[in-house]
């Protein structure tokens, strides 16, 4: 990872340029071309340094989402997590040290679509999926200033 990768990761966590060609605008800021920005982002995603590139929307302002949790037997955790991650409606999942050890967020066009994903995961795994809908929203700044050593 070089200094341009570091700037790309640090400076564009917020305020992605809202223009027809955002990667070209980022490239101008970084002094590189649009194709190089895209290639670097692809490489960073493949390396696991970037999980996703996209907007964060206020919940239920564009579609519907829910937090879900499952109690997965430890010996099945990796396989179930991979199955959950394969759904396009799942934007991330993570393991927790708890009886409910697999947590994930499902986002889809509407509540029926979210329910269909949860039901399909339960059907395919044979494990109950706990739906934890949002009762009150909180603003969470998802950007993290990066410190480079």
At residue 147, the pLDDT reads: 65
Q: What is the mean pLDDT of each run of 10 residues along the chain (149 residues)?
A: 90 86 95 97 90 69 86 97 95 91 94 97 98 76 64
At residue 59, the pLDDT reads: 65
User: In sequence order, what are the residues at sequence separation of 6 or more whose Cβ sits closer than 8 angstroms to the Cβ of residue 28?
Assistant: none
pTM: 0.61
What is the spatial distance between Cα 44 and Cα 38, in angstroms, rounded to a whole number? 10
At residue 61, the pLDDT reads: 64
At residue 58, the pLDDT reads: 63
């Amino acid at each position: 990872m070089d200094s341009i990768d570091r700037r790309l990761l640090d400076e564009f966590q917020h305020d992605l340029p809202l223009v027809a060609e955002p990667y070209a605008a980022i490239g101008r800021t970084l002094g590189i071309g649009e194709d190089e920005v895209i290639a670097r982002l692809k490489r960073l995603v493949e390396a696991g340094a970037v999980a996703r590139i996209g907007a964060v929307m206020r919940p239920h302002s564009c579609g519907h989402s829910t937090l879900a949790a499952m109690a997965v037997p430890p010996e099945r955790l990796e396989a179930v997590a991979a199955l959950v991650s394969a759904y396009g409606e799942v934007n991330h999942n993570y393991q927790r040290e708890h009886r409910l050890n697999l947590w994930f967020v499902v986002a889809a066009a509407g509540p029926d679509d979210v329910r269909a994903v949860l039901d399909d995961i339960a059907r395919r795994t044979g494990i109950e999926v706990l739906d934890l809908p949002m009762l009150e929203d909180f603003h969470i700044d998802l950007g993290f200033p990066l410190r480079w050593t």
